[in-house]
Amino acid sequence: MFSNKANSIFQDVIATYKVLNSVDQPFQNKYDKGEDLIGHLLYRKCWIDTVQWAYEDIIRDPNIDPVAALKLKRKIDASNQDRTDTVEFIDSYFLDIYKNVQPKPTAKINSESPAWVIDRLSILALKIYHMQLETVREDASDSHKQSCQTKLNTLLEQRTDLSTAIDDLLEDIANGDKYMKVYKQMKMYNDDELNPVLRGIK
């Protein structure tokens, strides 16, 4: 099942990042682009998400220096664009994989493309990792740990459901029961021509 591979890669990414646990550590993809393109893209996708998770924690420090906060906000903006670009690369991969599938006359479109479901699965891996830490935090109260365990159980159930959904979607596309139609995000705020503020200072 595709979801097994994706979930395994996501867990490996998080564990690898946490060895140094620094947003400044160098990135090295464990999957060769030429040998395993989807593995390469999944690894990169989750690495982006993992670093951005840390960025989002740091920027919420109420004592953060304003200049540092602005610099970090720029990094978050760039990370968001990188995330979107990578999701679209993943969809391009699937479009190529299924390019010769003839959809059935009864085929329907899905509300999300495969890559955007995978995006949610990657974020979910991070939620599960961090919620699990809360269940064993030594300085936390028993009630806090219990509450987090309940949340963790829900997140694990959600991962099972989401994994099933992505596997079913890919099978439906392969069988011609559903068809892919991808809309680019067309984000405007990073574009010098589409963002009026950026356009005004050119």
pLDDT tens-digit readout, 14-54: 999 999 999 999 999 999 999 999 999 999 999 999 999 99
Two tokens, residue 18: 């946490």
Candidates 85, 15, 86, 7; CA nearest to 50 is 15
User: Does the pLDDT value for residue 198 go beyond 80?
Assistant: no
Residue 61 lies in a domain: yes
113: Cβ–Cβ under 8 A, 6 or more apart, which residues?
91, 94, 180, 181, 182
**pLDDT tens-digit series, residues 86-98:** 999 999 999 999 9
The per-residue DSSP string of 97-134 comes to HTTT----TT-EE-SS-HHHHHHHHHHHHHHHHHHHHH
Residues 138-164: what's their mean pLDDT?
Answer: 97
Evaluate whether residue 26 is within a structural domain: yes
pLDDT tens string 100-110 = 999 999 999 99
**First CA to last CA distance, the chain:** 49
- Highest-pLDDT range among 94-98, 188-192, 193-197: 94-98
Flag whether the pTM goes above 0.85: yes
Asked if residue 200 is part of any domain, the answer here is no
Asked, for residue 116, whether it belongs to a domain, the answer is: yes
Range of the domain at 112: 2-190
In a domain, 195, yes or no: no
Burial 85-104 (b: 16+ CB within 10 A, else e): ebbbbbbebbbebbeebebe
Q: Confirm whether 196 is domain-assigned.
A: no
pLDDT category at 184 given cuts 50, 70, 90 is confident
- Would residue 28 count as lying in a domain? yes
Asked whether residue 146 is assigned to any structural domain, the reply reads yes
Count CB neighbours of 66 within 10 A.
7
**Total of domains in the chain:** 1
